[in-house]
Amino acid sequence: MAVSLLDAGQVAAKVDDGVGTISFGHPKGNSLPAALLAKMAAEVSAMGALPDVRVLVLRSEGTGPFCAGASFHELQAVKSAEEGARFFMGFARLILAMVRCPKFIVARIHGKAVGGGVGVTAAADYAIAAPGAAVKLSELAVGIGPFVVGPVIERRIGTSSMSHLAIDATGWRDANWAREKGLYAQVVESAEELDDAVGSVAKQLAASNPEAMARMKEVFWVGTEHWEELLPARAAMSGKLVLSEFAQQAIKGR
């Protein structure tokens, strides 16, 4: 699939006092094309290997959505099941990079999260959200399903809540619902308080024992060892479904 520079989006990374911050942005609602997913996964892995980084903060740019999910432009361009699987593997690799990273990842969720954006949020170890950070799994509405992001979301909020979210593919759940279900650790009272809350948690973790945190993270994600096989299989499922006439028509209407 050919992708223009405009469609690629951008990823930036910096380190300050033990806190590694990874920020991503895309002009279309911070959506996630393949190139952006690859850059994010690479930065998570690279930051996780730096000895002077003790905690990661993941954030997106702007004041609109935190993440609009998969790039519909790229989904429209998929011409084969193999291309489709390669695209969805971008989400699989990012989720695996986040889960396997030996550092805790704190997610700053300033706005709405859709589809893959919910998956990225669930793969973080601690998410702090603004009041307007509603969530939605829209995949079924476009003829596919949240197969790749499903395992990490299900682990975070449970099978029942995940299935309700996936079935009601056009309905939003507000930030308080997401906190009650365990997707968000905190919901602050205003968007202005978000940076202070994220900074406070990141500072606390940066002053904590790196070895203890690494061992804690291993314990938290016990039982996901098979995801290296599961997520590619799920990517293949999505790659086939996106070629269906239903999915193609639904994606064109977006």
How many CB atoms are located within 10 Å of the residue 118 CB? 32
Res 2: pLDDT: 36
Superfamily of 5-193+209-252 according to CATH:
2-enoyl-CoA Hydratase; Chain A, domain 1 (3.90.226.10)
Residue 14 pLDDT exceeds 70: yes
Three-state secondary structure call for residue 19: strand
pLDDT value, residue 191: 82
Angle between the N-to-C axes of helices 81-100 and 34-48, in degrees from 0 to 180, rounded to the nearest 10: 20
Using alpha carbons only, how large is the chain's radius of gyration in Å?
17
Q: Give per-residue pLDDT as tens, 168-189.
A: 999 999 999 999 999 999 999 9
Amino acid, res. 252 = K
Sign of CA dihedral 104, 107, 113, 117: negative
Predicted TM-score of the model (pTM): 0.95
Strand order in the sheet with 186-187: 10-16, 19-25, 55-60, 104-109, 126-129, 186-187
- Could you tell me where the DSSP H helices lie in the chain? 5-8, 34-48, 72-77, 81-100, 116-123, 150-157, 159-167, 175-181, 194-206, 210-220, 227-241, 245-252
**8 A C-beta contact, residue 108 and residue 59:** yes
Q: What pLDDT score was predicted for residue 11?
A: 97
Residue spans of the domains in the chain: they are 5-193+209-252
Per residue in 198-209, pLDDT tens? 999 999 999 999
127 has which bridge partners? Answer: 107
Tokens of 116: 């893959």
| Confidence bin at 4 (pLDDT 50/70/90) | very low
Question: How high does pLDDT run on average in the chain?
Answer: 94
pLDDT, tens only, 106-150: 999 999 999 999 999 999 999 999 999 999 999 999 999 999 999
pLDDT value at residue 7: 60
Residue 10's region, left for phi above 0, alpha for psi from -120 to 50, else beta, is beta
| pLDDT of 5 strictly over 60 | no
CA distances (Å), origin 1, targets 34, 41, 83, 102, 243: 10, 20, 8, 33, 14
